[in-house]
Amino acid sequence: MSESRESVLLADVPDGLFIGGDWRAAEGDKRLRVFDPATGGVVKQIADASVADGRSALDAADAAFSAWSRTPLRERAELLRRAFDLLQERKEDFALLMAIEMGKPIAEARGEVAYGGEFVRWFSEEAARIQGRYGPNPEGTGRMIVSQHALGPCYLITPWNFPLAMATRKIAPALAAGCTVVIKPAELTPLTTLYFVKLLQDAGLPKGVVNVITTSTSGAVSEPIIRDPRLRKLSFTGSTPVGQKLLAQAAEGVLRTSMELGGNAPFVVFDDADLGKAVDGAMAAKFRNIGQACTAANRFLVHRSVADEFAARVTERVEAMRIGRGTEDGVVIGPLIDDRAVTKVDALVTDAVERGATLRTGGKAVPGPGTFYEPTVVSDVTSGSDILREEIFGPVLAIVPFDDEDEAVRLANDTEYGLVSYVYTESLARGQRMIDRLETGMMGLNVGVLSNAAAPFGGWKLSGLGREGGAEGIKEYLQTKYTLTGDPFA
């Protein structure tokens, strides 16, 4: 990609807060810097919101709620549809912007534009399908009316790893349901959200319906918003420890919450699996987004009879991966998001090897500018290794052998997390058993990528609460009212 094209795009991204329909500077004109993880260089300086700025954003969302919640369903739907169409027109700009600020390979960034756009299109269609019900009560003494109503102002906190899709997955259902929002993107990758809200503005977004605050002091700015009695919904995607703190704050106001938290996904390969498909699925499930995804396969549980062959095949594939800046064509592995991510991944690999695992390829940071880590394969990882308990969030494939189905299930469920699992088997009966036995909110059966805007995304156990996407996604922003009227024939 040419530097001139990048410069023009970055100049087009707003650098202010978006509050009440206007782009404005932060209090005291405070700024924060956004970095390119592939080079370490600053790509843009943007507004750094204060507590007062956060309060102003909520003021705007609260003021706009009454009118927006009464806006006809079709008008909400058409706004989202216009936004979807504009996103298709500007897809290359959004892909490049994510490759710059997050580091993901440009081909994957284009895939995220398609994925993120589908949430906008899906919920544009769901907006007009909000329904209630009417009918007699069993005693015949009256008529029951069950209606759905927008919750109110919502606070949306998104992570850095999927800057567009995580924003659209929250904004679109909120708007479709008639809610107004304040969204706070991650400090590391805020530019895509700013650019998307500018797109919403171009699509005709009414003032105050969506407000954006970017800040380097997330906890300080977020807590007063969450504790404000006008807020009715909190949606967060991020780590479990942070999610637990936010839930504690949300409990005070009995807020509706959606929490998409950490994962520790097992990828189970049985002895009857099609190994070719399993290897293809492993590469997608592990190395998509440089391994920096909550849905990334974390523990590869492979039947002992095929473990060596599986390890050899994935190692060959990994060694052929090209590392580089995500903007370069052909790059498969971009940088990790920052130095802390590199340090964490390296510590997990070192611990596994020291405990007896075999390092087959990779295993170290790449010298030079940027925060790159070699794509890595470790096999025969032993029980007790940190890499089996912690979310890796990097390009490391860790293999553990097992001997029978019961052991595979025990190992897969041996975690406090339960977001997603992957199973490879040619046995229909075994696949059905895994649906019942694996403790995860989602499962890929002979597939390595399963996220879809039409499906409910979410986990069990410490992986979260609520669902995003699918028919379930809009319900997270609606509340139910039951009304009883008298018998019209009495």
Catalytic residues: 260, 294
85 contacts 254 by C-beta, under 8 angstroms = no
Dump strand ranges (E) for 158-308: 181-184, 210-212, 233-237, 256-260, 265-269, 297-303
Nearest to 389 by CA among 338, 348, 446, 420: 348
412 contacts 259 by C-beta, under 8 angstroms = no
Quote the CA–CA distance of 315 and 319 in Å, as a whole number: 6
Q: How far, rounded to the nearest angstrom, does the alpha carbon of residue 272 sit from its chain's CA centroid?
A: 33
Quote the CA–CA distance of 137 and 392 in Å, as a whole number: 53
Quote the CA–CA distance of 261 and 273 in Å, as a whole number: 30
Quote the CA–CA distance of 195 and 307 in Å, as a whole number: 45
Beta bridge partners of 129: none
Residue 100, H or E segment: helix 91-101
For 66, residues 6+ apart whose C-beta sits below 8 A from its C-beta are: none
457 DSSP 8-state letter: B
Residue 208, H or E segment: none
Residue 121, Cβ neighbours under 10 Å: how many? 19
**Can you spell out the DSSP letters for 136-188?**
E-TTSSEEEEEEEEE---EEEE--SSSTTHHHHHHHHHHHHHT--EEEE--TT
Residue pointed to by tokens 């909190």: 234
Quote the CA–CA distance of 215 and 212 in Å, as a whole number: 10
| Radius of gyration for the chain, computed over Cα atoms and rounded to the nearest angstrom | 23
User: Encoding tokens for residue 389?
Assistant: 């308990």
For 289, residues 6+ apart whose C-beta sits below 8 A from its C-beta are: 104, 108, 161, 162, 296
